[in-house]
Structures are given as structure tokens and as C-alpha cells.
Structure 1
């Protein structure tokens, strides 16, 4: 049996070797590796495509080990597992408890803020660009939560289309 995976790895020395270790140690075989260093995202992460083969249980164990090691599996056999969501908040973001805003987004199951960039303008209103990684199918739930928080804190929200 074969599976095709796309992992997201930090573009730093040793990450690819660390990601490949579970394949052989858990009894699977590596068929192909495509390490796309030219496609680094804003968080310094690069996609790595793997094709591995083995018995069903071995492959399941490899996938579980990737997750235990903290590697994000973006895709398995062409099925997207994670979505990237970007939104912008505008207003008195810091004054309205920035930590609370982030915690309330992150408390959604299957959702994590991967980057939060804020542009301050002295005492004026600020702008925050939020990058979120969510399990497939949660996009509307994330937008609803952000709209709820923004409404309470009198922030303007600009969601991606």
C-alpha cells in the first residue's frame, strides 16, 4: 500500500532528516521525496511531498508519529487536511485585550493562529494581520468567531474572499 503526504516543515537544517526518520524506524519504505525550498511561506515553512509504502498499520503509525513530532500534515492522498485562513483586524486591538482575542480564536478545536502581525500607529488605531491554520471545513466557524470577537471589541474585520 502507498500513501502520498504533504508535510509542512520549518526550513532549517535537520528538519527533513527528522521528518524522514519515522518512515524506516516504523517499517515503511520511502518511495519519493520532493523538498520544495523555493516555496517558503511567511512563517519559514516549506512543503515536503512524500510517497511512502508499507502495510496499512505501518503507514498509520508513520502518520501518527509525524503528528506526535509536531509536523503539520497538509495533505494525505490528495485530500487537504489543513486550510490557511487570513484575516485583518482594524481598531484599538491592543487596548481591547490582544491576548484574549488570540486565546478565543485558538480555543476552537482544530484551529491555531500561526502568525499575528500588528502595525501600531502611536495612540491611533492599529492593524493586525492574522494567519490561521485550521482543519478543513472550519473556515466559516473561524470567521464567525472572529466576527463575534470583533463585534464585542468594536474592531473592523476584513476577511479573505
Structure 2
């Protein structure tokens, strides 16, 4: 069985080698590697396309190992595993510790803030547009968690901008 994956890796020395190492040790074979350094995103991540082959169980063990190592799988056999979502927060965002808000959202497993644009209006309430990348199928979970944070900080949240 063959499996095509697109991973997101930090563009730092040794990252690619550390990702490829578990493939052989878990009984799978590496068929293809395409490392696209010129397509770096805002977080310094680059897409790496790999094709692996082996027994079904071995391939799923590789996928599990990638998950354990925190390696983001963006696409698996042509199926997108990540999605972009956005939401608005309205209120005294800065006064309610904007850094804490961002850190709490980024601490959610499979979620990363890719954009945080804030419009300030002096001492009045402000508006923040938050753009997120999340694992496919986790949209409602992410919105629920952000809503909890917003309610705790007395902010209004508007889903799906």
C-alpha cells in the first residue's frame, strides 16, 4: 500500500532528517520526498511531500508517530487535513490581556493563529479579526473553546467571518 502525505515542517537544519527517521524503523519504505523550501508560510513552515509504502498497519504506525512528535500532516492521499477559519472578537481586547488570549488559543492541539488583526479606537472597545489554521473537522471545537475564552474575558465573539 502507498500513502501520499504533505507535512508542514520548520525550515531549520535537521528537521527533515528527524521526520524521515521513524519511517524505516516502523517498517515502511520512503518512495518520494519533495521539499519545497521556497513556499514557506508566515510561521516559517515549509511543505514536504512524501510518499511512503508498506503494510497498512506500518503506515498507520508512521502516521501515529508523526502525531506523537507534533508533526503536522496537512494532506493525506489528496484529502486536506487542515482548514482555515476566522472569527471576530469585540470588546476591551487589549485590557483583557491580548497575549494571554493568543497563547490560550495557540495552546489548543492542532490549532495555530495565522493572523491577528486588531482595530483600536482610542479608549473605546476594539475589534480583532483572528485567522486560524486547524485540523480538519475541529472547527466547532475551536469555536467553542474561543467562545469560553471570550466569555471569561467579557468579549463578544462572532463566528465564521
User: Number of matched residues?
Assistant: 158
Worse-superposed segment, 150-159 or 9-18: 150-159
**Which TM-score applies when normalising by structure 2?**
0.75
Distance in 2, Cα, partners of 1:106 & 1:37: 24
Describe the superposition over 1:64-96 as per-residue Cα deviations: whole angstroms up to 9, x where unpaired: 111111101111111222223234545421212
Partner of 1:113: 112
Farther off after superposition, 130-139 or 145-154: 145-154
Quote the RMSD (CA, aligned, Å). Answer: 3.1
State the partner residue of 1:30.
Answer: 30
SS of equivalent to 1:46: strand
Structure 1's consecutive aligned runs of 4 or more residues displaced over 6 angstroms after TM superposition are: none
Distance 1:118-1:22 versus aligned 2 partners, 3 A rule: same
Gaps of 5+ in 1: none
CA distance in 2, matches of 1:100, 1:117: 11
Task: Determine the C-alpha separation between the residues in 1 that align with 2:43 and 2:28.
Answer: 30
TM-score (norm 1): 0.75
